[in-house]
Amino acid sequence: MAEINEERVADHKARLLDRYDDVERRETEFRMPDSEFPEHREYARDGYIGAAYAWIVRTPEQAPPLSASMAESDADDADRVLCILHRGATHWDIPGGGHEGEESFAETAVREVREETAITCEVTDLLLLEHEVTVADGYDDRLHTLWTYFGAEYRGGSLSIQHTELNGAAWFRERPPKLKDNPATLADKQFE
């Protein structure tokens, strides 16, 4: 049995836990259909070790100024969180994507946010760290990946989505009605 990327994931995980305090941690196993496993195993052998996402908060003071036709009562008066809607998706998510090369997972989150939404952000905290092991009944190999969810602050930019990947993006004042699982966990804390 091969533990693919176990050491690399453990190394990144240890560095993240050394840097950030009070991180919610999860260890999960994902059982994949045998028909999909060979493709994912190749990605893992080529170096894929997971992804990074950013829970970006924009304060009312950071909102762009109102246009002349808008009433002052239309101004933001609460924090907002950036969510995205992938093409073909029915649930909102938060921006992020695959880790590349030697970048840190925090750098991955910042890069992916910029690529997907044209928003710049600064990572402030690690909110959730999930070490997932993917298995399939017909294979002995186990694929290790790391899924990281960072807290981040808005630093600038106006929404401009990556049309090849997204149907939309928006700043939410309240919890979106349909939200993917891990962002939903973060939303439960934000929108209490």
d(CA 165, CA 95): 11
pLDDT for 46-58, tens place per residue?
Answer: 999 999 999 999 9
Residue 72 in domain: no
**By CB neighbour count within 10 A (0-12 exposed, 13-18 middle, 19+ buried), where does 112 fall?**
buried
Give yes or no for residue 74 having a pLDDT over 80. no
* Residue 173 CB partners (closer than 8 Å, separation 6+): 76, 78, 79, 80
pLDDT for 135-177, tens place per residue?
Answer: 999 999 999 999 999 999 999 999 999 999 999 999 999 998 8
Of residues 98 and 73, which shows the higher confidence score?
Answer: 98
Residue 18 in domain: yes
Residue 56 in domain: yes
Q: Provide the domain count of the chain.
A: 1
CATH number for the domain spanning 171: value is 3.90.79.10
d(CA 90, CA 97): 18
d(CA 117, CA 102): 23
Domain span holding position 174: 3-62+77-190
Residue (of 37, 34, 16, 64) closest to 143 by Cα position = 37
d(CA 171, CA 58): 8
